[in-house]
Structure 1
């Protein structure tokens, strides 16, 4: 379930009057708007509110050429934002940061385009008002709500519009609408986006009857609470899946994921057979134990390994081939868009060619990140990648992809020292790794893949 899409769908239905059924007993929105116009005329007559420029009265003439963007219920009304609310932008006062930094009694929020950005020692407003960002990247990125409420005592600078109403509740649906619709048509500038007061006032709102507004907002609050719980549950489940995968690797590296088979050739005997010069490590190099049929060994005793060719603009001899480097290698996958080429001499081809089944490990960048090259085409490697090939068929490559993943999770590679210096060929060669019997290697990988497949299906369902 995509909770973000669900949230947006609920809001879209709400502003169109499709979230809840209409009640024929509700007072129509037209009556509400008549009261608002009458109240504004009264405030203007008493000198408490200035009449907007180029308007003789708060009449309905503006709507004669207005084309609604979508249909609304008969009991609703379209209204120009400037006619629905009271704009108090004239009371805003910016305070330079140099002045704010010298204030000593900073206890009041100082609001800008996307919320409170500082504290100051005084306040302008002492009531709940609706603020709408006037400029800044958030107008387009929408990483935060562009309409938000301020309450209590606070100060507002000239980067947020200040909206009021004779009935504060009416501001709630305004905030809902502004945060639901795209504002692109009302914004000028792209490098420095701006929502001017004139453009803000000219936004048209669909206004429900006031009682329906209350029902809509109550329903949205309930639904958003449920969506929040779903999102948190999904995040917790996703974290649990990651922890479960890590635990599976823990068990695999300790020989506890699948049972041992006494008929299997012990790993130490197998190692002596495939590499008589191999060094069997008798002291436990890590914090966990392994079964008696396993052995510890150096990675370089069971894998041939080398890095690729250094990129050198002065070396232009050879035939150009596409190559990959650390930026192309991710955990068991490759990003192969926009591959580059460099020349390789004939005597460099064998060392630098990757073929199907090779294990690649990052020497730099995200040190230790690994992937198996399972593509049917060959490719070349740059010098910040290690290419690993087993010295014998008794070494099951997929297991050692999981070994690198486990070591990376446990910070056994890619620590501060290695990360700064790169994962050198010597460090790779001497890396102590567990070696199970060959048949057990295959059983371990099969079990990991079986369990991971179930977990991946669960995780995929969270995104659908």
Structure 2
């Protein structure tokens, strides 16, 4: 016995509890036909969307052997999902199953719901791992499946087990849904906090703060604020500017593929921008030191922007350089937004995380296949700048609030 079972239980095999273990049909999927054709790929997260399952035709004289019934269990016998199973339920039309699936039909006093639960157990998966054969493409045939050991309780206890586990699984699903909902609330809360920050509603204003325009005049003595009417919604100490007024936009390095090597200058690409940070990747590209360019070498305070991608979701994604990164430059599909005064960097970084910025970028960068952020798109983006002292209070407040939210999020992942 693999392990002890309660009195009244027996150790048996899948073959001994099954009246049929049968491979599926080798038929092509069609948009129309007499029968639905269930395939491995139609089974996702223990569910089947029968509306999307294709059709097929089959010999009417032979089809009865392959017709699926409620209570049948189908089993993936090959590929990356070998061992995955699905309990047929809620059939509303005739369906058969494809050749990479094996169907199990249990005897009447064997509850298929109990067998399906066994097919989810750790002990079942241990047997599948030990029994799988093949190099690169693991598979389990019908004979091996039939040999698998299964602990079997009396029929009445099978029912009680199924009812008890379904109750627990339902509770777990509710908890998981609650976690998902809370993750969503946390994300929305962060967006709202950022929105309040850039509209001057997160921290109180201090009339003793030096107006932002004085700081801007020191950065650029010829600076002239533009007023399109919106600035009247802000404190007089705030100032309407474009990104170009307070930041430099720096392009990335282009290189020949033939120059790629194992060491040298690391070239950042879109994959290096993750969760608002600049990270190393296992497949990073390196080019010779002859490509050295001090302008697009990543410096502390730089905001790295994904400027070219086929994804509307990823376009404009930003990462913040929290340190100087030696021998690291951005690639041609990225841009550096570099504040002209480093003290501005923490606040401007927040602006580039807001929904307002993301909406602006997705609107201006649309393309038929590739989305592109031009330098002018970044330069012309209008922002409202508070006094430097207020920027610092805003950044500090956001760090405090985000820290609380991050701790909650980490607790959800335990």
TM-score band (shorter)?
Answer: 0.7 to 0.9
Question: Which residue is equivalent to 2:334?
Answer: 385
Question: Which residue is equivalent to 2:200?
Answer: 255
CA distance in 2: counterparts of 1:433 and 1:109, whole angstroms: 56
CA distance in 1: counterparts of 2:27 and 2:298, whole angstroms: 62
Contact 2:271–2:281 (Cα < 8 Å) also in 1: no
Q: Specify the SS of the correspondent of 2:265.
A: strand
CA distance in 2: counterparts of 1:289 and 1:168, whole angstroms: 74
Matched length:
383
TM-score (norm 1): 0.73
- In the alignment, structure 1 segments of 5+ residues that lack a partner are 1-67
Q: Specify the SS of the correspondent of 2:341.
A: coil
Question: Which residue is equivalent to 1:80?
Answer: 13
Output one character per residue of 1:229-249: Cα deviation in whole Å (capped at 9) or x when no partner: 001111111111111111111
Q: Specify the SS of the correspondent of 1:139.
A: coil
TM-score (norm 2): 0.81
The verdict on how the C-alpha distance between 1:129 and 1:421 changes in structure 2, with shifts beyond 3 A counting, is closer
Question: Which residue is equivalent to 1:186?
Answer: 131
The verdict on how the C-alpha distance between 1:423 and 1:94 changes in structure 2, with shifts beyond 3 A counting, is closer
Contact 2:77–2:102 (Cα < 8 Å) also in 1: no
User: Is it true that 1:207 corresponds to 2:207 in the alignment?
Assistant: no
User: Is it true that 1:451 corresponds to 2:401 in the alignment?
Assistant: yes
CA distance in 1: counterparts of 2:102 and 2:259, whole angstroms: 61
- In the alignment, structure 2 segments of 5+ residues that lack a partner are none
Please, which of 177, 180, 184 is the counterpart of residue 118 of structure 2? 177
Structure number with larger C-alpha Rg: 1
The verdict on how the C-alpha distance between 1:127 and 1:244 changes in structure 2, with shifts beyond 3 A counting, is same
CA distance in 1: counterparts of 2:95 and 2:332, whole angstroms: 57
What are the residue-to-residue correspondences of 1:429-440 with 2, within 5 Å?
429-440=379-390
Question: Which residue is equivalent to 1:128?
Answer: 70
Contact 1:241–1:455 (Cα < 8 Å) also in 2: yes
The verdict on how the C-alpha distance between 1:337 and 1:417 changes in structure 2, with shifts beyond 3 A counting, is closer
Question: Which residue is equivalent to 1:47?
Answer: none
Q: Specify the SS of the correspondent of 2:118.
A: helix
* Structural RMSD (CA): 3.2
The verdict on how the C-alpha distance between 1:284 and 1:340 changes in structure 2, with shifts beyond 3 A counting, is farther
Output one character per residue of 1:44-67: Cα deviation in whole Å (capped at 9) or x when no partner: xxxxxxxxxxxxxxxxxxxxxxxx
User: Is it true that 1:310 corresponds to 2:254 in the alignment?
Assistant: yes
User: Is it true that 1:301 corresponds to 2:245 in the alignment?
Assistant: yes
Q: Specify the SS of the correspondent of 1:411.
A: helix
The verdict on how the C-alpha distance between 1:435 and 1:196 changes in structure 2, with shifts beyond 3 A counting, is same
Question: Which residue is equivalent to 1:156?
Answer: 96
Q: Specify the SS of the correspondent of 1:354.
A: coil
Q: Shift of residue 371 of structure 1?
A: 2.3
Q: Shift of residue 219 of structure 1?
A: 0.8
The verdict on how the C-alpha distance between 1:368 and 1:164 changes in structure 2, with shifts beyond 3 A counting, is closer
Contact 2:302–2:321 (Cα < 8 Å) also in 1: yes
Q: Shift of residue 376 of structure 1?
A: 5.2
Output one character per residue of 1:288-320: Cα deviation in whole Å (capped at 9) or x when no partner: 94333211112121123322322235889xx94
Question: Which residue is equivalent to 1:32?
Answer: none
The verdict on how the C-alpha distance between 1:284 and 1:328 changes in structure 2, with shifts beyond 3 A counting, is farther
Please, which of 334, 342, 351 is the counterpart of residue 287 of structure 2? 342
Please, which of 370, 374, 378 is the counterpart of residue 424 of structure 1? 374
Please, which of 342, 362, 369 is the counterpart of residue 414 of structure 1? 362
User: Is it true that 1:137 corresponds to 2:62 in the alignment?
Assistant: no
CA distance in 1: counterparts of 2:384 and 2:285, whole angstroms: 37
Q: Shift of residue 136 of structure 1?
A: 4.2
CA distance in 2: counterparts of 1:349 and 1:248, whole angstroms: 37
Contact 1:356–1:376 (Cα < 8 Å) also in 2: yes
What are the residue-to-residue correspondences of 1:237-276 with 2, within 5 Å?
237-276=182-221
User: Is it true that 1:146 corresponds to 2:94 in the alignment?
Assistant: no
